[in-house]
């Protein structure tokens, strides 16, 4: 996980995501998930460009089961965009860096 990507857990979900003053993109992932491993370097790469505008975090679903259950995460990778603690966008599956940036930019504008 890159230095600009936040490690999100069930324990810090409330403070880092629900009460965040900036929007947060949370990647629900697992070590054994191939598509998740494809997304990890993309998230590390784009995180610095969104610093101050969007927090990018990763939540390991094997180690943290409360948040994925609460938000009905059935497939991984699932990336959920939160504004003011509320889900505003959901992205399921792997995608290119460009497509992910377009989705983030759209969610920010919306």
Q: Say whether 33 is catalytic.
A: yes
Q: Is residue 17 within 8 Å of residue 26, measured between CB atoms?
A: yes
Q: How many CA atoms lie within 13 A of 103 on its CB side?
A: 21
Q: Is 7 a catalytic residue?
A: no
Paired with 3 in beta bridges are none
Residue 63 neighbours by CB distance under 10 Å? 11
Q: How many CA atoms lie within 13 A of 62 on its CB side?
A: 6
Pick the catalytic residue: 8, 17, 25, 36? Answer: 36
Question: Among all residues, which ones are annotated catalytic?
Answer: 33, 36
């Amino acid at each position: 996980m890159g230095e600009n990507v936040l490690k999100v857990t069930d324990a810090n979900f409330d403070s880092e995501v629900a009460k965040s003053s900036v929007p947060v993109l949370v990647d629900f992932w697992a070590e054994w998930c191939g598509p998740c491993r494809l997304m990890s370097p993309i998230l590390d790469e784009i995180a610095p460009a969104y610093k101050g505008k969007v927090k990018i975090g990763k939540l390991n679903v094997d180690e943290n089961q409360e948040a994925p259950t609460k938000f009905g995460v059935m497939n991984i990778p699932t990336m959920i965009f939160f504004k003011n603690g509320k889900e505003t966008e959901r992205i399921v599956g792997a995608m290119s860096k460009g497509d992910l940036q377009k989705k983030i930019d759209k969610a920010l504008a919306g």
